Amino acid sequence: MQKKALVGFVLMIFSMNLMAQTSSYKLKNGLTVILNEDHLQSSVFGCVVVKSGSKDDPADATGLAHYLEHVMFKGTTELGTTNWEAEKVHYNKIISLYDDLASTSAEEAKQIQKEINKESIEAGKYTIANEFSNIVQSMGGTSLNASTGYDMTQYFNIFPSGQMQAWLELYSHRFINPVFRGFQAELETVYEEKNMYSDSPFSVLFEQFNQAYYGEKHPYGRPILGFSEHLKTPCLSKLIDQYYKYYVPKNMALILSGDFNSEDVKGLISETFGKWESKPVPEKTPMVMSEIKGKKKVKLKLTPFPVALWGFPAVPTNHEDETAIEIACMLLSNSNQTGILDKYVIEGDIQSVSVNLSAKTEDGLIQFIAVPTFDFNQLIYTSLSSNEKLIFKGIDKLNAGDFEDWVLEAIKDNMCREYDLAIESNISTGRILTSVFAGNQTLEDFNNYKTDVKSITKERIIEVANKYFGDNYLAVFSDLGKPKKDKLTKPELDPIEPAHGEISNFFDKINQIGFTADEVKYLDFTKDVRREKLGDKVNMFYAKNPKNEIFTLTLKYGAGSNEIPTIGLATNLMNKAGIMAEFTPHELKKEFSKISCSCNFYNSESYTYVQLQGKEENLAQACKLLSKTYILPALDDKQMNSLLGSMVGSRRIEKNNKESQAEALQEFLYYGKNSPSLTRLTKVELLELTQSSLAADFIKATQYETSVHYTGQKSFDEVREILTNNLAFPSGLSDSKSPYIRPVKVHNENIIYFLNNKDARQSDVFLMLNGTNYNLEERPYIDAFNQYFSGGFNGIVLQELRELRSFAYTAYANYSTPALSDNPSYLGGFIGVQADKTSDALEEFVKLLKDLPQKPERMDNLKKYLKQASASNRPSFRRLSQVIESWEKIGFTEDPIKQSILCYNDMSFEDIMTFYKSHIQNKPIAIAIVGNKKLIDMKKLEKFGKIKYISSGKLFKN
């Protein structure tokens, strides 16, 4: 489950505009309620957040907060059980046995684990697996998840507004008398999560950076998942104590963001969450702030290429210097690349750099990350020490105030623009509000946010820069190498079979709650988007922006990397271009920033894109700058060397890097000789490229059929006039052959492609079987099958492979369709599994594909989900025109949801089985595995197909 902190968004919160929709109050029991009412949304984001995370773990039992997050999905004394009184006998024994396990020898531990397994199997007879997620599905809920951070734990999902009462009943109930059943199975799942991160060198790098900065004994220096030695001997009673200590109303908040009426929901909230018993907030000993004296340097060898990180002591959330520090960081590096350090990246002196304030509730640091360039001529990386000199040269400039006043103003404008973009979505708004509460902030604190940002002066920036960017810092240099891996092996245990085909009395109670079916707002292809030809083969699509004055203009050219293999390099170079005789590349970035706009070039296999975004009043100026960039791009040899160097440098590591190996092997499984890694440019072809050839290739892309997508508040006629007067749309454009459909490899026999990686703790296993050519009328049945088979926690795949057998943290299988009808479809699956469990996990996965478990009792729930989720999952106004265009290209003449909902109404379980039998069952299964051969039962693998060993060299074109 995701753990990425949201503190970076905290500073982009509240203006008077948002405050008009947002309110906050407390229930009598002390629970904070934050409501963000937004009727432009088609759904509601709901979240319960606790001001407790991994920092509150006992020093001798790290990982408890994360374990707790996992088992909070297991139900209560009423939910997830057929007979709590009978189950409780075994549950209490399991708690006692885990206490024994935490204080016993390794030899005795094996016997205790067997006893736990025995009691868990008995308790499982009364357990209704995944009933919580089944209820969420029944109300059309999506994106069900939770995350643990250092300072908070949050539980959330998205749901139709008509299900507000049912959602409030469910989420309030889950925190009353929770039962942490299934702890053994969830423990093994966390093992797999730990193994997954251990196989990622960068996860290990950041973990070791935190330990070096804070120290292993500091709560912020410990991994959120916990130390391995603690994961092996968890104490369930301590976890229960953790829950009752920190999960109290005064330490928690309910966040709702989206399409609802605030006054209407307050009574429902009082009836549901008001039931919680008021309890005192636990007293916490204030954390000692970390302290770095002088320069502390740590050298590591963990990563496939050199990386440098620096950490400067900073401030916790809600500190008076927080906003000024954020702006100072952006003056060094920002998304528009107008910062002091961004100049070095654009000019090719550093490959990449980022600067961020990581503010936690009780501490904070400013973190720099830099990757050196790979010298294309000498075939070596530039030194990390030379990068450090550039970093500190930039810091010296900041501290001296060596930056233009208008650059500071432009960055503050950009912060306000980012804020406006963030609150367009009820989901991002809800997550921001979650971080606000967890960071000890209030709506009132940010009532004057924009005014506060605008009030930050150059003098203030210089003051905080000199205060925090000083001589006290940590420097971590990671050179080429691999992390040492500790052993975290799962015990041999029998699977826990839950009760089948039953629902609890609580689920029945939820089913009795009436709901208002959301009105389905079908998209009208002609009314919701206005369109007109700007020229021959130039089609303009226009959608209104109902939220703010930020426009988005996307020029979509009908050729991508399939048609022009060099276009990825060309767009990359164009992002670093200036304008001849007028602006250097960095100056051009600043010119766009000066008018509160940004420009970005990118591509896909099918299309080449140019996107302008910013203040709508400056649309014409932005178009003029873009037009000059097309005609007179200013490029230099140093940029070219840096660009080619990054390509060659990445190719030097890919054959030994597990993530690169897995991606290439999966592509080979799906596409064979047509894999992207085998059809790319060779090194010789790269050497032949020049600045002028790449600039010409970009212009070549603009000579194809073009779609112009605009979202804004200006009138259609005004926008059309600005575009035609300031952008050149050439005549005689070539027809677009896009979207490109990469030919799918046909597998006529069961086969296993095996790539040996002796360092892999976890095996990455991919599965594929060929389907039929895509027929648009099959779309509802494909969606129904995918939801039944692999619809998150409710799907057969996760329930059988994760919940029942604890093989994986991640597993999925989806029937994938192409971007055009009448082209081949296929089923693709994946499971990440502990190496020595590979053959066992694969055996169970293959069983599911060959003989799909039939659970017709799930059909009513599934149909409810499909209908309600379809109604509430509508594209945002910025994506609207491109979604409609893509639907039309596939072959739809009206909103496909309309036909899907009609089909769902009459769909039966037999329809899903018919689809499965005609598209999947009895077809050859092709498998690809990246794993450690020595840890896998290779003989057992042979039963799934002929094993064909493949080396990394066969997957990548040199």
Topology at the third CATH level for domain 295-480: Cytochrome Bc1 Complex; Chain A, domain 1 (3.30.830)
**Mean confidence (pLDDT) of the chain:** 93
Say which residues have a Cβ less than 8 Å from residue 277's Cβ, sequence separation at least 6: 29, 249
Q: Is 847 helix (H, G, I), strand (E, B) or coil?
A: helix
The pLDDT of residue 379 is: 83
Structure tokens belonging to residue 806: 């604890």
**Percent over 90 (pLDDT), the chain:** 84
Residue count of the chain: 958
Element (H, E) at 952: none
| Torsion sign across C-alpha atoms 237, 240, 246, 249 | negative
| pLDDT (tens digit per residue) in 241-264 | 999 999 999 999 999 999 999 999
Confidence (pLDDT) at 492: 75
pLDDT digits (tens, 9 = 90+) for 368-407: 999 999 988 888 999 999 999 999 999 999 999 999 999 9
Looking at per-residue pLDDT, the higher value among 195 and 551 belongs to 551
Q: Which residue has the higher pLDDT, 286 or 75?
A: 75
**More confident: 6 or 303:** 303
The pLDDT of residue 7: 34
Across the range 615-625, mean pLDDT stands at 98
* Whole-structure pTM value: 0.93
pLDDT at 339 over 50: yes
d(CA 208, CA 195): 16
Q: Is the pLDDT of residue 654 over 90?
A: yes
Cα distance between residue 898 and residue 407, in whole Å: 49
pLDDT for 446 equals 62
In the chain, what are the domain boundaries?
Answer: 49-280, 295-480, 549-726, 751-954
Q: Is the pLDDT of residue 11 over 80?
A: no
| pLDDT at residue 27 in the model | 98
pLDDT band at 487 (very low <50, low <70, confident <90, very high): low
**Over 90: is that where the pLDDT of 199 sits?**
no
The mean pLDDT value for 200-206 works out to 94
The answer on pLDDT for 830 being more than 80 is: yes
Distance CA 178, CA 172 (A): 11
CATH class of the domain comprising 49-280: alpha beta
- What's the average model confidence in pLDDT over 298-302? 96
Looking at 340-354, 745-759, 791-805, which range is the least confident one?
791-805
What top-level class would CATH report for the domain 549-726?
alpha beta
Please give the pLDDT value at position 520: 85
Q: HSE-up of 871 (CA within 13 Å, CB side)?
A: 24
For residues 942 and 940, what is the distance between their CA atoms, to the nearest angstrom?
5
* Homologous superfamily, domain 751-954: Metalloenzyme, LuxS/M16 peptidase-like (3.30.830.10)
Per residue in 447-461, pLDDT (tens digit) is 677 788 899 999 999
Phi-psi region of 153 (alpha: psi -120 to 50; beta: other; left: phi over 0): beta
The answer to whether the CB of 463 falls within 8 A of the CB of 38 is no
Top-confidence residue, 191 or 418: 418
- Residues 44-60 have a mean pLDDT of 97
Question: Which of 59-73, 102-116, 150-164, 243-257 has the lowest average pLDDT?
Answer: 102-116
CA 808 to chain centre: 19
pLDDT tens for 919-949 read 999 999 999 999 999 999 999 999 999 999 9
Q: Is the confidence at residue 291, as pLDDT, over 90?
A: no
Quick check: 310 and 472 in contact, CB under 8 A? no
CA Rg, the chain, in Å? 28
Please state, in angstroms and rounded to a whole number, the distance separating the CA atoms of residues 528 and 544: 9
The residues that bridge with 815 in the sheet, in sequence order, are 827
Q: Do domains 49-280 and 295-480 have the same CATH topology?
A: yes
> For residue 488, what pLDDT is reported?
65
Query: What CA dihedral angle connects 428, 433, 439 and 444, to 10 degrees?
Result: 140
Q: Which among 855, 860, 863 has a CA at the least distance from the CA of 900?
A: 863
CB atoms within 10 A of CB 505: 10
What is the pLDDT at residue 490?
66
**Closest-CA residue to 805 (of 469, 509, 494, 557):** 494
Is residue 316 within 8 A of residue 290, CB to CB? The reply is no
pLDDT of 156 above 50: yes
Taking residue 174's Cβ as centre, other Cβ atoms within 10 Å add up to 20
**Cis amide prior to 201 (ω within 30 degrees):** no
Q: What is the pLDDT of residue 12?
A: 37
